[in-house]
Amino acid sequence: MPTFQVVVNPASLSGERTLAQSLVVTATNTTDRITSARASVRANPATATAWVTAPLNVIGRFPGKNATQDFPFSLKVPADAPAGTYTLLFDVIDTELPDDHFGTSAPLALVVDPKTVVDGGKQAPKRWWIVVVAAVVVLGVGFLVWKVFIDKKGMPDLVKQPYTAAVARLDTNKFTITRVDSLADTSSFARGVVLSQSIPPKAKLEAKGNQLRLVVQASWAVVPAVVAREVDVAAVTLGNDSLVLRIQEDQRLSPNPVPGDGRVTSADPPAGTLVRRGQPITLVVIRRRPCVRILSSGCLPQTNAMAEARDRAAIQLNLETLRKWKQ
């Protein structure tokens, strides 16, 4: 299910040639994840993509849930643009987890009328055949758009298609889409593709309210072997495999140095486990807790500020590695 809500203002476009139009694409993060996302445009037919100018900075920062970012685009239909009906879609996609976090605006229709032929500065008289040809062009392109987004054959076959491409084929105003991530068959399906759909291909669709459930192959990772490593090394190893570090201390009360201090003794889940990308992995780390001898029978525990600082540094190192992670 899309994790960015994408709205375009204004919601309607003018097809007048050479007219400069401002479009503000507003994206809202619906998850708790701190992320950055890139805004882009798609057009059908694709020639209209060149008419849209992206903002200087197409990457926005979302510090938390319900955070919003505005992306100011502009549109200018060239003087020689072919007449027809075009459709624009604006995408906002996570720069680090594009398969899992994204959003797409509702389709915006752009109707470009046929150019009026002029002679000597005066408008040429209209001919009935010009009207007919224009109508045929508009209807023809309109049929193409209808074919892409509605499909007269009913529900399209979305299995084995990337989720973003599958959703782009649908008129989202006619569907309520529920995305379910799964690790059902990692050997046959790539990350982010549709495994199954609740509405069979070619099934008849309602005008609105079609309940569509898409099972999508989750992005996965395999837990690496980090036992016996220093925790800061394990932090980078997990980050390189797109996994999040969680530390559980195995405190050893002792006035003297402890063997294995700062090293990992176990991982949960263990090495070799297939997990979803971004899943937290809990590492048990030996940490000496110093103490002071009291007479001959007791040992008064002390705070190990240095060990706590090292654990915080390891977690920060893991987060920095995650931010730089590339699939």
Copy the structure tokens of residue 277: 């990308």
Q: Which of 167, 201, 218 is the last residue of a domain?
A: 218
Q: How far apart are CA 156 and CA 146, in angstroms?
A: 13
Question: Are residues 191 and 229 both part of a single domain?
Answer: no
Provide the domain count of the chain: 3
pTM (2 d.p.): 0.44
Could you tell me the CA-to-CA distances from 123 to 17, 80, 81, 119, 126 in Å, in that order? 17, 18, 19, 7, 9
The enclosing domain of 272 has a CATH number of: 3.30.10.20
Domain C-terminal end among 198, 218, 238: 218
| Domain termination residue (choose one: 169, 187, 218) | 218
Sign of CA dihedral 40, 45, 46, 51: negative
- Domain extent for 203: 153-218
**Digitized pLDDT (tens) for each residue of the chain, 327 residues in all:** 678 999 998 888 888 998 989 898 999 999 888 889 999 999 999 999 999 999 988 899 988 888 899 999 999 999 999 999 999 999 999 988 888 889 999 899 999 998 765 444 444 445 555 655 565 555 655 555 545 554 456 899 999 888 888 888 888 888 889 888 887 766 666 778 898 999 999 999 988 889 999 998 887 788 999 999 999 999 999 998 889 999 998 988 888 888 999 999 999 999 989 888 888 999 999 998 888 877 766 788 888 888 888 888 999 998 888 888 765
Regarding whether 91 and 15 lie in a shared domain, the answer is: yes
- Verify that 5 and 81 share a domain, yes or no: yes
